[in-house]
Amino acid sequence: MMWCALLGAFFLQMLLGIPLFVGLVATAFLGVASLGNESLFRVIPQQFFGGMDVFSLLAIPFFLLTGTLMNRAGLTDRLMDFCRLLVGSARGGLGYVNVVGGIILAGVNGSAAADASALGSLLIPAMEKEGFPRAYAAGLTAGSALIGPIIPPSIFMVIYASMTNASIGGLFAAGVVPGFLLGGAFLAMNALWSARYRFPFSDGAAVRARKGEILKRSTGALVAPLLIIGGIVAGVVTPTESGALAAAYCAAVGFFGTRQLTLRGLGEALVETVRLTSAIFLIMGAATSVGWLLKWERVPQTVAAALAGWGLLDTPLLLLLTLSALTFVIGMFMEEVAVLTLLTPIFAPLAARAGIDPLHFGVVMTLNVTIALITPPVGACNYIVAAVGRVPLGELFREIWPFIGVAVGTLLLLILCPPLTTALPRALGL
Amino acid sequence: MTAMADRLQRISRTLERVSAVGAGALLVVNVADVLLGIVCRYVFRISLVWTEEVARYSLVWLALLGAGCAAARGDHMALDFLVPRLPRAPRLVVEVLRLAFVLAVLLALAVLGWKNLAGTWEVKTMALGVPKAALLLALPVGMLLLGLQLFLGALLPPENSERTEGP
């Protein structure tokens, strides 16, 4: 009863356009009020603060800053030229450029939103000009952006690790193969669609004529993902340190290499990063206080007892499918950082009890939440590609389902075959 | 009337600037702090005890100080599709009530956060010897600045296109 009222109050606040983090905090306050224990009110700001004050979360602003600096230093443009040279001349070539660009950017950017806006603003207009349907170009961009949080670095994985005992390095390594699989799935989809709908060829000759120049110009940009992933995998630096190094590297290349970064541009990049960091952290803090209320009311135990009653804790496969289905439905209606912060403390112990490898579950959970970025009605990537590609949201919502299908298919493959995630971190000893 | 609006506009922009410059500077401190840690470990073979504390303090302060700046640019996630479609009169009523509600929640966070400071001024951190309260203070300060920014933003006429474009 109390939970129905709280859920109703939360959705009413969302309908009225109240900021998500305020809605979450207010719901936590209402929950405490309904418990009738006044001394508990003070716990909410404590939890709110505690959800933000975690050392490992430091990686988040670093990865955001790196992405912003890549764009401002002109490194993202160079990467796209490189992709065009690599895969641009087949039928539907710009589609492949979009996905391969997504894979490479994923190695630098920690968030899908950053990938969606970088890829979208460069490629959706170009694809449309060559004759791709606009909604397909936007949908594929949203799909490519999903690779971002799976291939390291990943803000979702940093958040997941901060709430569980999983190591960030281990999770990052576990995401590499699934990220390439997801990219491969979108490449295959582009091949099928290109053949079926006769998508256009790009002018490969013009790009190939500039081959030497493009290769030379993009070397500096390709170092950034190698620096991040290599540094972590080799164990020379922690994931957080790799973020700081990559940000410093991009700033240095922007100032002295490409010379496209100015002091003013650096200042704007800092402010942009701070704004995005603040928005993410406030949602995490707010969701942490709601999570505390759920724990206080023993909701995780109730859920666990129900699932155990259905025998799900003895069948890891069914448990993973059930939790994924739940996350999918909740993710349709809620912002992704909030979903991750709310569900991880409830789901991760269940997975551990069922004997599921923590890194495997971490990647499955990350992919679940990532897919929520493109499920209507609430999905950040859809809004971004619709805005940068000037596609009406209604049209995008109709055309996005095949892309969701491809991502869900990849998720099912991972669930059925755990070594896809666990083999690499094991081999590296992470 | 316009003089008043001008003054409010100036206060709002100053607040946004304070939030942006302060939080941006903390981000620079943060990056430099972590880089210093790496250099000391690999070049000078020493590990500094205070880098982690500096990183934590600056991270929390930058996230909360940046909240006002994020609000001024509309970065706080909200699903505002229903209210803008209402007719003018009910829309204004909903907007006023909504703002009052948001401010009340922020104020509650700030006041309770302030109360939680009690007794933490004497607790000093291990490496830097800074009061723990200096860390916890970020919550009330951040929420008050955010509330003020939202309040001023509501009083002001809608942003002109030059500013909403952003960098």
The ipTM is 0.90
| Tens digit of each residue's pLDDT (9 = 90 or more) over B31-81 | 999 999 888 888 888 888 888 889 988 999 999 999 988 887 777 778 777
What's residue B1's pLDDT? 57
Angstroms from B160 CA to nearest CA on chain A: 19
- Helical pair A168-196 and A211-233, crossing angle rounded to 10 deg: 140
| A182-239 pLDDT tens trace | 999 999 999 999 999 989 887 777 788 888 888 888 888 888 888 777 877 777 888 8
- Which of A391 and B167 is assigned the larger pLDDT? A391
Are A119 and A148 a contacting pair, CB within 8 Å? no
The more confidently predicted of residues A408 and B51 is: A408
Kindly list the residues from chain B whose CB atom is less than 8 angstroms away from the CB atom of residue A17: 78-83, 98
pLDDT digits (tens, 9 = 90+) for B77-119: 787 778 888 898 989 999 999 999 999 999 999 999 999 888 8
Q: Which residue has the tokens 């789901």?
A: A347
Coil, helix or strand at residue B127:
coil
A73-77, B47-51, B125-129: segment of lowest average pLDDT:
B125-129
Chain A closest CA to B5's CA: distance in Å? 25
Q: What angle do CA A404, A408, A410 make, to 5 degrees?
A: 120
- For the cut 70, the answer to whether the pLDDT of residue B165 exceeds it is no
Chain B residues with CB under 8 Å of A44 CB are 109, 112
Map tokens 């609430």 to a residue.
A378
Asked if the model's pLDDT at residue B158 lies above 80, the reply is no
How far apart CA B71 and CA B20 sit, in angstroms, is: 11
List Cα–Cα distances, A366 to A106, A245, A379, B69, B107, in angstroms: 14, 25, 15, 29, 34
User: pTM for the complete prediction?
Assistant: 0.89
**pLDDT value at residue B43:** 86
Q: Which of A18, A25, A278 sits opposite B78 (nearest CB)?
A: A18
**Which of A369, A364, A361, A368 has the alpha carbon at shortest distance from A337?**
A369
3-state helix, strand, coil in chain B (%, to 5): 70, 0, 25
User: Touching check for A117 and chain B: CB below 8 Å?
Assistant: no
pLDDT at A165: 83
B145 close to A (CB below 8 A): no
Q: Which residues of A touch B37 (CB under 8 A)?
A: 241
CB–CB of A47/A288 below 8 Å? yes
A250: contact with B, CB 8 A cutoff: no
**Which range is least confidently modeled, A304-318, A362-376, A397-411?**
A304-318
Nearest by Cα to B132 from B66, B60, B67: B60
Q: Which of B24, B31, B135 sits opposite A248 (nearest CB)?
A: B31
Question: Do the chains contact at B34 and A48, CB–CB below 8 Å?
Answer: no
Give the gap in angstroms from C-alpha B2 to the nearest C-alpha of chain A. Answer: 29
Which DSSP string do the residues of A66-124 spell out, in sequence order? HHHHHHHTTHHHHHHHHHHHHHTTSBTHHHHHHHHHHHHHHTT-S-HHHHHHHHHHHHH
For A93-151, write each residue's pLDDT tens digit.
Answer: 999 999 999 999 998 888 898 889 889 988 999 899 889 999 999 999 999 999 999 99
Amino acid (one-letter) located at A417: C
Separation between Cα atoms, residue B83 and residue A126, nearest integer Å: 35
pLDDT given for residue A218 in this prediction: 87
CA distance B7 to B13: 10
Give the burial string for A260-298 (b: 16+ CB within 10 Å, else e).
ebeeebbebbbbbbbbbbbbbbbbbbbbbbbbbbbeeee
Classify residue A2 by burial, with Cβ atoms within 10 Å: 0-12, 13-18, 19+: exposed
Q: Which residue has the higher pLDDT, A234 or A343?
A: A343
Place of tokens 């112990």: A349
Residue A289: pLDDT above 60?
Answer: yes
Q: Is A376 on the interface with B (CB under 8 A)?
A: no
Stretch 76-105 of chain B: residues touching chain A, C-beta under 8 Å: 76-83, 94, 98, 101-102, 105
What are the pLDDT digits (tens) for A229-270?
787 777 788 888 888 998 999 999 999 988 999 999 999 999
H or E segment and range at residue A253: none
Q: How far is B1 from chain A (nearest CA, A)?
A: 29
- What's residue A4's pLDDT? 87
CA-based nearest residue to A134, from A386, A369, A426: A386
Query: What pLDDT band is residue A298 in, cutting at 50, 70 and 90?
Result: confident
The average pLDDT across A385-414 equals 93
Contact B139 A283 (CB under 8 A): no
Whole-number average pLDDT of chain A? 90
The DSSP secondary-structure symbol of A199 reads P
DSSP state of A257: I
Q: Measured between beta carbons, which residues in chain A are less than 8 angstroms from residue B138?
A: 49
pLDDT band at A366 (very low <50, low <70, confident <90, very high): very high
Q: Are A190 and A99 in contact (CB under 8 A)?
A: yes
HSE toward the beta carbon, residue A197, CA cutoff 13 A: 14
Do B30 and A283 make contact, defined as CB atoms within 8 angstroms? no
pLDDT of residue B164: 37
Q: Which two tokens stand for residue B87?
A: 């007719």
Cis peptide before A152 (omega within 30 of 0): no
